[in-house]
Amino acid sequence: MKFGKEYASQMVHEWQEAYMDYDYLKSLLSEILSFKQKNAPLPEVAATPRGSLKRKLSMYKAFSGLQVRYNSFKGKNNHEDEVIVVNSVQQEGSECHYETTFLVSCEEVGECELLFFRNLDDEFNKVLNFYQKTVGEVRVEAGELSKQMDALIALRIKVDNISIGMKSAQAMMMDPSTNDDSIYSPASADPVRFSSSGRSHMEAIQEVEMTNDENLEEEAIQEVEMTSEEILEEEATAGTNDTTKMNPTGFRPAPLEVLDYVKINIEPETPISTLKSCIMTSKSHLTFSKEELKKVEEQMKKAFVEFYQKLRLLKSYRSLNMLAFSKIMKKYDKITSRKASKSYLEMIEKSYLGSSDEVYKLIAGVEATFTKHFVNGNRRKGMKYLRPQAKRERHRVTFFMGLFSGCSLALVAAIAVSVRAGNLLEHEGRGQYMENIFPLYSLFGFIVLHMLMYAGNIYYWRLFRVNYPFIFGFKQGTELGYRQVLLLTSGLSVLALSAALYHLDMDIDPKTRSFETVTELTPLALVIVLLLIAFCPLNIIYRSSRFFFIRCVWHCLCAPLYKVTLPDFFLADQFTSQVQAIRSLQFYVCYYAWGNFKTRSNTCQNSHVYSILYIFVAIIPFWSRFLQCLRRLFEEKDSMQGFNSLKYLSTIIALVMRTLYDQKRGTFWKVMAASTSGITTVANTYWDLVIDWGLLQRNSRNPWLRDKLLVPHKIVYFVAIVLDIILRLVWMQLVLDIRELPGLHPKAFIAIVACLEILRRGMWNFFRLENEHLNNVGKYRASKSVPLPFNYDEDKSM
């Protein structure tokens, strides 16, 4: 692979604008090469008299050429090393600007080379300033994490102290030689006292290495400056029982007074805790409980992991840019036959980009701190947390995906042949089958189609470098690729089609006037199997992804009692396109609980309660999104979330009106359904195109689209706009009384309309995440911000 492609593939997606523009600089070198080829003097050809000794001449030329090249290299080495000089110009603030000056005349260099170096300097200054700014940000974050660790260690000691048994407490009170200070001092005469859990105070004390508490930032810097040898030596020392070998000034706990200046900042994890936090206003004080300590530790783990990932990205950014500058300068030397790369690369090495080792020290410090404080000194376990392995593609996934896909096609063909051979479309039991059995299996069809669209979205997200794992917050190594999703989709389709083929029986038993019980229970058994797989606690069939999905579903159902994240409201949006699937689940309950499934009959449609629930279950996903928008409105103070909540409220009203018109008919309900649906269609379409997709911007570089586009063909965006508008108007078939097509049952027509909405949602997903990714790129947001567990009261601490 050429370096240009490798360079682009290894970029941090969200920082791509801050990288050196290798392709542009390479194009300038191409212009320099073209200019030199056009203006190169023609070589003079020496006339050779006929009859000369060709062999002697060729031997003499070969030897002479080698001698000339060698002498030329020796004599001109020092001169060509001084083709350019790079000067540092200090600008306002702390930014440093570099400019390149040629030591030869401009006529000899040419305008192309001057342009190249001007752009090269601009690219280097861009990279340098971004790196310097980002290092400053991580330095501040490191200081904040150090302060958080102070509070965490103090909380650990406090919690451990509270759990001391009564006998130890009485013995300590009876001994006048011991005081409170000796509990936390490693030099005390009786430093080891065990809690009820068997853990000693000395272990709690010695789990952190501290310096003096004059400056918390110095504390963080001294911790991260530990080398690997010092870490190993410290771990070896900590493993011995000889406490006299330890430096008493090197080991001492965080002062417990830190707890007087902090307040707890833990997000409620359950609906009950959320309600309690709303009712109880003073929930920010520390309770010094083990449960609270456990939550704090988990939150700190997440903060350290995210901070470590940002450091690794910054390290990769530095290395990749330095390599790119080296490559481009070597290309310049090769094209121009100059030796300017040495001077330029020496300048890069001496600059902050090449000479600063703060990131490496911070990485070593984070590894040491995390290993020591969170995994009991087990470095291998700590590295598994900090450096999760990327998921490896397995051939068996591709094999089974192909196998199940082939089986699915074969089953579709078998069903088509069975219908044709049995003339089932003209069978007298066709209507009964479509009214009672078809809605049961259409549920699986909706799910399979949605999963197919999701697999296609993943494929194109990867193709156009949309960082969907970061956007959704998937843990590295657990996200599903399009092959894994297609494997699950094809497996589900095989189960559903096999059951449908087995259930393709329309002949009732003439004696009992009923169908076989086992056959009629097949759809219900299939639903139960899927639920068992989804909630299976065993580490099979992508357990982490299953539990992630279940957790997001639970958050949607419990809105607004959970903090709203992107996966939560993105999934709720998916459910708004699966209204017919949700109604199919309602039909399952009605058909098997109150209907007579043995005779394929039900009275659900005539029940007033069922009609009300038919409306209620359809508005659940829209109501969830409405509550999520309100939660974000109150938390983020973003007025756009208020408008978004009104959009979903209008959709709920339109959905209710359309359902009432479908059930009651009449001119009044028709007018209400048409007017409310028209209003919500205009609002939803505008929100799709302008807010969610970021399109229809008149003054953008791409007229009526947006400034940045990932898909190279603009026609794709215009086609998507037209399709979104058309598919948003599918509801009009209801008010136009188009309830079925010739030769098509009404239930089948409803299923087709539902499938069109799923297709629209799949298209919406791609452009919605593309816009989200570009927003992250514009803000250079490549890492998640994890809320820290402690809030410092600066007034008290000063």
Least Cα distance to 365 among 138, 130, 132, 128 occurs for 138
Q: What is the DSSP letter of 730?
A: T
Kindly state the helix (H) or strand (E) to which residue 792 belongs, with its residue range. Answer: strand 790-792
Say how far apart CA 161 and CA 205 lie, in whole Å: 11
Is residue 523 one of the residues assigned to a domain? yes
**Confidence tier at 220 by pLDDT (50, 70, 90):** very low
Least Cα distance to 224 among 385, 372, 383 occurs for 372
The per-residue pLDDT for range 571-629, each reduced to its tens digit, is 999 999 999 999 999 999 989 988 788 888 888 878 888 889 999 999 999 999 999 99
Q: How far is CA 645 from CA 274, 358, 554, 556, 654, in A?
A: 21, 46, 20, 15, 14
Q: For the whole model, what pTM was predicted?
A: 0.80
**Confidence tier at 42 by pLDDT (50, 70, 90):** low
Q: Which of 192-206, 463-477, 535-549 has the highest mean pLDDT?
A: 535-549
Looking at residue 203, what is its pLDDT?
46
Give strand pairing partners of 793: none
DSSP 558-618: TTTSS---HHHHHHHHHHHT-HHHHHHHHHHHHHHHTSBTTTTB--GGG-HHHHHHHHHHH
Which residues are within 8 A (CB) of 745 and not within 5 positions of it... i.e. 6 or more apart? 430, 431, 434, 438
Phi, psi of 797 (to 5 degrees): -75, -15
Is residue 64 one of the residues assigned to a domain? no
pLDDT higher than threshold 50 for residue 526: yes
Q: How far is CA 86 from CA 110, 130, 342, 386, in A?
A: 18, 20, 11, 40
pLDDT higher than threshold 70 for residue 177: no
Say how far apart CA 580 and CA 587 lie, in whole Å: 10
Q: Which two tokens stand for residue 430?
A: 């066709």
> Omega into 271 within 30° of 0, i.e. cis?
no
Say how far apart CA 748 and CA 734 lie, in whole Å: 14
Say how far apart CA 705 and CA 715 lie, in whole Å: 10
Looking at residue 178, what is its pLDDT?
40
Is residue 94 one of the residues assigned to a domain? no
How large is the average pLDDT for residues 229-248? 39
Looking at residue 38, what is its pLDDT?
77
Looking at residue 546, what is its pLDDT?
95
Query: C-alpha angle 48/54/55, rounded to 5°?
Result: 155
Looking at residue 762, what is its pLDDT?
96
Query: C-alpha angle 26/32/36, rounded to 5°?
Result: 145
CA 161 to chain centre: 40
Residues listed for the chain: 798
Least Cα distance to 552 among 574, 533, 532 occurs for 574
Lowest pLDDT segment from 164-178, 705-719, 747-761: 164-178
The half-sphere exposure of 447 on its side-chain side, counting CA atoms within 13 A, is: 23
Looking at residue 238, what is its pLDDT?
42
**Confidence tier at 262 by pLDDT (50, 70, 90):** confident
pLDDT higher than threshold 70 for residue 436: yes
Looking at residue 510, what is its pLDDT?
76
Nearest 10 degrees: Cα torsion 339, 344, 349, 353? -150
Looking at residue 603, what is its pLDDT?
81
Query: C-alpha angle 87/92/97, rounded to 5°?
Result: 25
The per-residue pLDDT for range 163-174, each reduced to its tens digit, is 554 334 444 444
Looking at residue 81, what is its pLDDT?
54
The half-sphere exposure of 347 on its side-chain side, counting CA atoms within 13 A, is: 23
CB atoms within 10 A of CB 776: 18
How large is the average pLDDT for residues 770-793? 85
Phi, psi of 227 (to 5 degrees): -85, 170
pLDDT higher than threshold 90 for residue 87: no
Looking at residue 279, what is its pLDDT?
66
Q: How far is CA 740 from CA 230, 634, 759, in A?
A: 77, 45, 20
How large is the average pLDDT for residues 269-290? 68
DSSP 627-678: HHHHHHHHHH--HHHHHHHHHHHHHHHHHHHHHHHHHH--HHHHHHHHHHHH
Looking at residue 217, what is its pLDDT?
39
User: Which residues constitute the domain of residue 529?
Assistant: 395-422+430-509+517-776
Q: With beta carbons less than 8 A apart as the criterion, state whether 523 and 543 touch.
A: no
pLDDT higher than threshold 90 for residue 552: yes
How large is the average pLDDT for residues 432-436? 89
Looking at residue 337, what is its pLDDT?
82
Helix (H, G, I), strand (E, B) or coil at 337: coil
Q: Which two tokens stand for residue 91?
A: 């600008």
Angle formed by the axes of helices 358-374 and 379-386, nearest 10°: 120
Q: Which two tokens stand for residue 128?
A: 């340098």
Q: How far is CA 575 from CA 164, 443, 569, 645, in A?
A: 52, 13, 10, 16
Looking at residue 787, what is its pLDDT?
83
Q: With beta carbons less than 8 A apart as the criterion, state whether 438 and 431 touch.
A: no
Looking at residue 244, what is its pLDDT?
36
Say how far apart CA 314 and CA 134 lie, in whole Å: 8
Is residue 442 one of the residues assigned to a domain? yes
pLDDT above 70: percentage of residues in the chain: 79
CA-only gyration radius of the chain, Å: 35
Say how far apart CA 36 and CA 507 lie, in whole Å: 86
pLDDT above 90: percentage of residues in the chain: 43
The per-residue pLDDT for range 458-468, each reduced to its tens digit, is 999 999 999 99
Q: How far is CA 721 from CA 380, 648, 664, 695, in A?
A: 51, 21, 34, 9
Question: Bigger pLDDT: 54 or 707?
Answer: 707
**Confidence tier at 13 by pLDDT (50, 70, 90):** confident
CB atoms within 10 A of CB 613: 16
Say how far apart CA 488 and CA 492 lie, in whole Å: 6
Give strand pairing partners of 101: 85
Interstrand relation of 262-264 and 790-792 (parallel, antiparallel or unpaired): antiparallel
How large is the average pLDDT for residues 674-683? 94
pLDDT higher than threshold 70 for residue 184: no
Q: With beta carbons less than 8 A apart as the criterion, state whether 553 and 546 touch.
A: no
Q: Which two tokens stand for residue 395?
A: 């051939």
How large is the average pLDDT for residues 776-795? 80
Give strand pairing partners of 86: 100
Least Cα distance to 483 among 408, 394, 388 occurs for 394
Is residue 205 one of the residues assigned to a domain? no
Kindly state the helix (H) or strand (E) to which residue 796 belongs, with its residue range. Answer: helix 794-797
Looking at residue 597, what is its pLDDT?
86
Is residue 19 one of the residues assigned to a domain? no
Is residue 403 one of the residues assigned to a domain? yes
Mean pLDDT of the chain, nearest integer: 80
Lowest pLDDT segment from 405-414, 487-496, 731-740, 747-756: 731-740
Least Cα distance to 153 among 226, 230, 209 occurs for 209
Is residue 278 one of the residues assigned to a domain? no
Q: Name the domain count of the chain.
A: 1
DSSP 66-122: HHHHHHHHHHHHHHHTTSEEEEEEE-STT-EEEEEEESS-HHHH-HHHHHHHHHHHH
Helix (H, G, I), strand (E, B) or coil at 425: helix
